[in-house]
A and B are shown apart, each in its own frame.
Chain A
Amino acid sequence: GENVEQHPSTLSVQEGDSAVIKCTYSDSASNYFPWYKQELGKGPQLIIDIRSNVGEKKDQRIAVTLNKTAKHFSLHITETQPEDSAVYFCAASSGGTSYGKLTFGQGTILTVHP
């Protein structure tokens, strides 16, 4: 099955700096790569996603890049703000008969210091 590795496990930045979180996946059939933000005591919230036919996608301060050849994708947050502090998860969809099945990375705890 699919395996997703996420790095770093913790990331601390100053307000206004950029933050980058990287993930690798193992299944070349994966074709959908979402990123979720999870705040304490809440369910994961979808913040951005990318499909295999696109190399990069941007939404205001958040961008995601995908390299299918290398099987890795990254989340970029620019001009970080304290409210960006949360746990971020990457995920990959393994496709096939279970199109929507997501395999998650282990998560990155992002702390943005004012």
Chain B
Amino acid sequence: DTEVTQTPKHLVMGMTNKKSLKCEQHMGHRAMYWYKQKAKKPPELMFVYSYEKLSINESVPSRFSPECPNSSLLNLHLHALQPEDSALYLCASSQQGVREETQYFGPGTRLLVL
């Protein structure tokens, strides 16, 4: 099974709301990733967790906060977002985070910030 699941599929939130995106995989992978994809653009990496260690894209604003409760689960906490944060948020995982391993992507959460 090479499935990465993401919930919710769609999310609409106001700029003062707090919400969370969830990602889960049961492939035994030890690296998980959050990407942001704007319309007609390629995905851009936001965060990487590899063996519970976090690597951050320094251009990502602090209103995005990742959390990795265990090696199968990855959350993205959202707070005080801006309309320009509206995008498709993709989660991915790979085995042990080693360089030769394929990244498997979830279907994404489409976020709209009003």
The answer to whether A and B interact is: no
B residues with a Cβ closer than 8 A to A are none
A residues with a Cβ closer than 8 A to B are none
